[in-house]
Amino acid sequence: MSYSDKENINILCAVMLGHGITHAVVCPGSRNAPIVHNLNECTQVKCYPVTDERSAGFFALGMAEQLCEPVAVCVTSGTALLDLAPAVSEARHRHLPLVIISADRAMPYIGQQMGQTIDQPDALSRFTLMDVNLIEPHDDLTHWHCNRLANEAMLAAKRGGPVHINVPYDEPLFNFTVASLPEERIITSVPISVDETALFEVFQPLKSFRRPMVVIGQMAQGTVSCEILDRIKSHVAILVESLGADDGGMPFDEVLPLVEKNADFSPDVVIYMGRTLVSKRIKAYLRGLTDVPMIQVSGDVEVHDTFGHLTQLVNCNPQAALQVLLKLLGSGKENSFASRWNSALDKAKQHFIHLSPDFSQLLAVKLALNSAREFGEPFVLHFSNSQPVRLANLMAHQHVRCNRGVNGIEGTVSAAAGCAAVTDDRVLCVTGDLSFFYDQNALWNTNLRGNLRILLLNNGGGGIFSQLPGLEGSPARDKMIAAGHNTHAEGCCIQHGVEYRAAHGSEDLYSGITWLVQGDSERPRLLEVVTDVAHDSRAWHQASESLTI
């Protein structure tokens, strides 16, 4: 056997075989000849030549309907792809699994009067479940991307419907010099109902692992209970941020530098629940674990290969998954791996609870969170991105909300104001200066009430940029990158009838936090804490560097 020397074609064929594709309808053409050659070389795949693409699409549709499994259709570049549109639209409306594979020229040639060349990516998107473009890989990152997209397309087709995989590559086309297809990662998907028995079958293999870790990203409050996390943490290392835990999570981002080179803290399996993570450090660490199976537990069918090594997608409720894991893993004695992590995380938690920083943003957030906790009535916490949400992960005692889907600076105060408009609970919005001034029109709103409280952390620019190694060497950092400024919020608050105070030192801060959090008011209140970016950075580093486990 010999295969094409086009890496994206070989990745695609290997992933197709891994997902059990056994039937392919192939249409004539030179551009798709390398793909057809590969499919014909695969003994697991039976190829059916059909000349007319319009007929080929429906021919494959009939096969998919009868076999109840995905069938591939491979066409050359140009209008051949468009001739599949009637069959693809029929497949979409009848939920029949077709895998449309179109060969294409390399992107630089599109629109340059080359023969049989049209803009092919997304050409059928009105009728497909997913469209992917498998560019030719040139390094490990683009290889991973190509593999992931091919896996995602196969998983989407298995859900019942057509997908389109566009495969661009440059000439020469006919070098069949590769002896075998690569060993490619296959991401499996397990659709689970509320049936606990089915979940037990899926998670049963986890009993053979000795160092299991569960990582929890952003989730809605109440998605997983504090009780289940407390019970399971003796048997599984739990790493959860304040955006995913009702009790505020653990400061694992500060622990990781102290343990990441210690094999005793390294997991042998990772289960990821929830959506985005704030911590770049944990993402980089888990991406570096090359031979560790990683399982995504999600209530939806989207693939989030956050750590680059996803092997299985389990579609179920995270709480249900944790309950099954507890029953599977919780019958024996305490897991020593989990105990090591618990000890380290508990020490870090206590470190930040008893921390007494100087006047800084760190102190302001610590006091505000403590005051909200002591108030005795429910508080909803909204934090802006960048530095504030990272401060929340150090010290929050309860669930934190954040516009973390895209991580933009816009909309923090507006989202908090919308929340406050439909709840009688107090809403504490903690925001940095750039986020606040970008969103200051949130105060230009007739729906604001006295339950909205805003803690504005103003150190004259994007404070996080002072903590990015190497950026201090750029003369553009402070003014152009960090957007240094001398703006304050008093005028904006006066204009919109928002009660205002400022804190320039510790004494102002202590009294201001009590006024902001616990005082009664019919109008929103804002406390502007004016700090120095260098002091803020120093307080952060001193807090982290003094941590020992």
Q: SS3 letters for 137-195?
A: CCCHHHHHHHHHHHHHHHHHHHCCCCEEEEEECCCCCCCCCECCCCCCCCCEEEECCCC
Q: What percent of the chain has pLDDT over 90?
A: 81
What is the arithmetic mean of pLDDT over 71-85? 95
Q: At what angle do helices 336-353 and 387-395 cross, to 10 degrees?
A: 110
519 HSE (CA, 13 A, CB side): 18
Burial class for 267, CB neighbours closer than 10 Å (0-12, 13-18, 19+): buried
> Which domains, ranges and CATH numbers included, belong to the chain?
7-168 (3.40.50.970), 188-349 (3.40.50.1220), 361-545 (3.40.50.970)
522 HSE (CA, 13 A, CB side): 1
Residue 112: pLDDT band with limits 50, 70, 90: confident
Question: How confident is the model over 234-252, as pLDDT tens digits?
Answer: 999 999 999 999 999 899 9
Question: How confident is the model over 322-368, as pLDDT tens digits?
Answer: 999 999 988 778 899 999 999 999 999 999 999 999 999 999 999 99
Question: How confident is the model over 436-445, as pLDDT tens digits?
Answer: 999 999 999 9
CB atoms within 10 A of CB 268: 15
DSSP state of 504: S
Q: Read off the pTM.
A: 0.89
Residue 111: pLDDT band with limits 50, 70, 90: confident
Query: Does the pLDDT value for residue 435 go beyond 60?
Result: yes
For 448-474, the DSSP string reads --TTEEEEEEESSS-GGGGGSTTGGG-
Return the pLDDT at 477.
59
Instruction: Give residue 450's Cα distance to chain centre.
Output: 35
What is the arithmetic mean of pLDDT over 247-271? 94
Residue 155: pLDDT band with limits 50, 70, 90: very high
Tokens representing residue 317 in the block: 């409720």
Q: Are strands 163-168 and 130-133 parallel, antiparallel or unpaired?
A: parallel
Residue of 243, 313, 319, 238 whose CA lies nearest to 275:
243
Residue 466: pLDDT band with limits 50, 70, 90: low
Return the pLDDT at 468.
59
Average pLDDT, the chain: 92
Q: Which residue has the higher pLDDT, 345 or 474?
A: 345
Asked if 298 contacts 320 with a C-beta cutoff of 8 angstroms, the reply is no
Asked if 478 contacts 458 with a C-beta cutoff of 8 angstroms, the reply is no
Q: Which residue has the higher pLDDT, 462 or 293?
A: 293
Return the pLDDT at 302.
84
